[in-house]
């Protein structure tokens, strides 16, 4: 069951990972932002949050031999984004296990103060040598736990109800 959408003021509690205007190159034949660009923005915003807040900086892959892979995502659209409109992307961490993150990226039409789309994702922490799931290192796990507490806001995250962290994952 889908969770109700938060207000613009509620979503603005989360820091923007991306802010930009919708360029002409993002527009499709229907005159609005192409569906692939929503996934691109959501994915890039999550990656930026990993870099900035979760201890997975630019050296994480080459020096520590670990990264994250998206295992599943669910996209919901609520309003169009048109050429020239301002957009922000805000990422909320919803839960984690020793190897898995559950997140939602909220893509906001800043020109209209409305949520345009959500990109909910299940992300797996990977050992790049073995190409298999591996537990988060202790330092990263501590940062994730801090982020989970910070993202435990008074309003429910707008999730699809179709995904989450399975027990034992």
Residue-wise pLDDT tens digits, 13-37: 999 999 999 999 999 999 999 999 9
Flag whether 17 is in a domain.
yes
Q: How far apart are CA 110 and CA 10, in angstroms?
A: 13
The neighbour count for residue 110, using CB atoms within 10 Å, is 18
Partners of residue 92 on adjacent β-strands? 104
Number of domains in the chain: 1
Q: Please report the pLDDT score of residue 79 as a whole number.
A: 94
Q: Is residue 169 part of a domain?
A: no
Residue 160 domain-assigned (yes or no): no
- The number of CA neighbours under 13 Å toward the Cβ of 25 is 0
Using CA atoms, how far apart are residues 131 and 101, in angstroms rounded to an integer?
17
Q: Is the pLDDT of residue 38 over 80?
A: yes
Q: Which domain holds residue 18?
A: 9-150
Residue 158 in any domain: the answer is no
For 1-10, write each residue's pLDDT tens digit: 567 899 999 9
Average pLDDT over residues 44-63: 96
pLDDT score of 59 more than 80: yes
Structure tokens at 80: 């169009």
Q: Assign residue 95 the CATH number of its domain.
A: 3.10.129.10
Q: Which residue has the tokens 């020793």?
A: 98
pLDDT in tens, 111-148: 999 999 999 999 999 999 999 999 999 999 999 999 99
Residues in the chain: 169
Tokens 């069951």, residue located: 1
Residue 4 lies in a domain: no
Q: How far apart are the C-alpha atoms of 52 and 50, rounded to whole Å? A: 6
Q: What residues pair up with 117 in beta bridges, in sequence order? A: 77, 107
- DSSP label at 33? B
What would the 3-class secondary structure string for 9-21 be?
Answer: HHHCCCCEEEEEE
The rounded distance, in Å, linking the Cα atoms of 111 and 14 is: 17
């Amino acid at each position: 069951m889908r969770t109700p959408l938060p207000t613009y003021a509620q979503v603005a509690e989360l820091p923007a990972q991306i802010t930009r205007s919708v360029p002409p190159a993002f527009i499709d034949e229907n005159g609005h932002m192409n569906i692939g660009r929503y996934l691109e923005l959501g994915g890039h915003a999550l990656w930026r949050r990993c870099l900035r807040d979760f201890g997975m900086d630019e050296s994480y892959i080459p020096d520590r031999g670990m990264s994250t892979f998206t295992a599943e995502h669910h996209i919901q659209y609520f309003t169009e984004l048109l050429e020239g409109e301002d957009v922000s992307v805000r990422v909320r961490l919803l839960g984690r296990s020793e190897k898995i993150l559950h997140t939602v990226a909220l893509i906001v039409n800043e020109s209209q103060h409305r949520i345009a789309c959500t990109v909910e994702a299940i992300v797996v922490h990977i050992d790049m040598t073995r190409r298999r799931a591996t537990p988060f290192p202790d330092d990263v796990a501590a940062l994730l736990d801090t982020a989970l507490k910070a993202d435990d806001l008074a309003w429910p995250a707008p999730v699809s109800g179709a995904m989450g962290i399975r027990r034992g994952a």
